[in-house]
Amino acid sequence: MSQSENLPCSFVIFGATGDLATHKLLPALFDLENAGRLADNLSLIAFSRRDWTTDDWLGHTRAILQDKVSQPSHQMVLDRFLARFHYLRGDLNDAESYRTLAADLAPGSTCSRTVFYLAIRPADFVAVIKNLKEIGLNEPRGMNRVVIEKPFGEDLESAQVLNRVLHQHFDEEQIYRIDHFLGKETVQNLLVFRFANTLIEPLWNRNFIDHVQITVAESIGIEKRAGYYDRAGALRDMLQNHLMQLLTVVAMEPPPALEADALRDEKVKVLRSIRPIAKRAVHAHAVRAQYTHGNISGQTVASYQQEENVEPDSITETFVAAKFYIDNWRWRGVPFYLRTGKRMPKQNSMIAIRFRHPPQQLFRETPLESITPNWVLLSIQPEESMRMEIHVKQPGLDMNTRVMQMNASFLRTDEQTLDAYEALLLDVIEGDRSLFIRFDEAEWAWRVIDPILKFWTVEREYIPTYPAGSWGPAEANRLFDSDDQIWRNEL
């Protein structure tokens, strides 16, 4: 089958008027249009419950994308993009709406491939999947594609149930479980950084690395998502998916080929090698907390319990830090510290790898007697860069040093990074599953955090707090294995 025959001719967005579609999907699809990466015959269908016409939808979309239209040529691109759309008012739980959708997909179609993007609440996934099957939109098997946003389930059991429903009606090759962190340039470039450089890969193991930190900090609060977030919390919302995926990319072995299943096989091996956390050890391996009122960038912000629609006595965690060990030949004994939180001082997603101290005391009885360790810093957002910290001697008569950052950034001054959703949506359209999550990845990630989740479910009386605008609770420091380990907050 040729590449053109493999391309879909329809792209359906369920939940087209929601925040995800508004802020991520529509801008990314427009950028792909502007780059000439959408096939001429690709039609876009916006599915939503709002009582709109197609003209209403086009006006809404034009307003969303207006900031991207800065030149006359962009206006032509926008007109071409909007001409692809048809709006369909429908209810996710109403089979008749899917019959109307099926009728819209049929006339004049030159191919049978369709992408169904579920930009909806996780609670609605099963209803959509079953209705697609009821109307026959899952047939023929192996053709249409379903894109599912995280979180994939609420715990291990619900993830397995959702997977069984999916596999009743779609093959695994049709299912694209999306984690937008895997589409970021820095994360993809990490594979090149490690496996294309003989300078780096020999050092990437327990003999040279002291510990690894993965931080995803957000300055924002829950932004009117209390209905979802107060049930999920930071452990489900971020650590089980985003941070676990970053851990696998840092720790995986070199795959035999840059193919979807080869990459994901190695990631699953990492997750299966993570040392299980016993119930009695949860307190030593994980910390949770909730933000109180504080100050961020000069603005006073409310506590989590004062957010709209949050229960006044809620103990949902908005911060979580956890320590994991990977029991394999490469990483045995190296702690991986994962941390994420809301209402922190700034948005900052970073992987920080600290190397061991030199094994000899060459510089004792000199000003270098206590030397700081080397770091590799991989910034994912807001900027995307790679840096290495090494020691150099300062000019002068004494043996004094300073830390110098070697910038290994892949981005030149005249280049722009590709938005993660642009990359992933293009992969969906072209059928490349390399950067998407296979079910056994999601399942093993749930298995890793399941002991923490179950322990916190029964520990409902108290949760530590941290002021908004801080880097989290002091309790997070007790996870460290040694006194000289500290959180790396910034580049």
Question: Which amino acid, one-letter code, is at 476?
Answer: A
DSSP states of 372-412: PPPEEEEEEESS-EEEEEEEEEPSSSS--EEEEEEE-----
The upper half-sphere exposure of residue 354, i.e. CA atoms within 13 Å in the direction of its Cβ, equals: 21
- Does residue 44 sit in helix, strand or coil? strand
Helix H or strand E segment including 30:
helix 26-34
Two structure tokens written together for 27:
């801008």
Torsion of CA 141, 142, 146, 150, to 10 degrees: 110
Bridge partners (DSSP) of residue 324 are: 336
Q: Which of 236, 405, 401, 444 lies closest to 322, judged by CA?
A: 236
Give the integer Cα–Cα distance in Å for 267 and 440.
Answer: 10
Q: How far apart are CA 449 and CA 276, in angstroms?
A: 9
How far apart CA 57 and CA 63 sit, in angstroms, is 10
Helix (H, G, I), strand (E, B) or coil at 212: strand
The letter for the amino acid at 419 is D
Q: Are the C-beta atoms of residues 142 and 171 closer than 8 Å to each other? A: yes
Hey, what are 335's tokens?
Answer: 């702690």
Bridge pairing between strands 375-381 and 385-393: antiparallel
Give the pairing of strands 401-407 and 385-393: antiparallel
Token pair in block for residue 31:
């950028």
242 is catalytic: yes
Longest dimension (CA), the chain: 83
Catalytic residue among 60, 180, 211, 242: 242
Residues facing residue 376 across a β-bridge:
353, 388
Distance CA 353, CA 329 (A): 18
Instruction: Mark 105-116 as b/e (b = at least 16 C-beta within 10 Å).
Output: beeeeebebbbb
Backbone angles phi, psi at 61, to 5 degrees: -70, -40
Please enumerate in sequence order all residues whose Cβ is within 8 A of that of 333, keeping only pairs 6 or more positions apart, or say none: 206, 325
Report the run of H or E that residue 85 belongs to, with start and end.
strand 85-89
Outline where DSSP puts E strands in 26-81.
Answer: 43-48
What residues act catalytically? 242
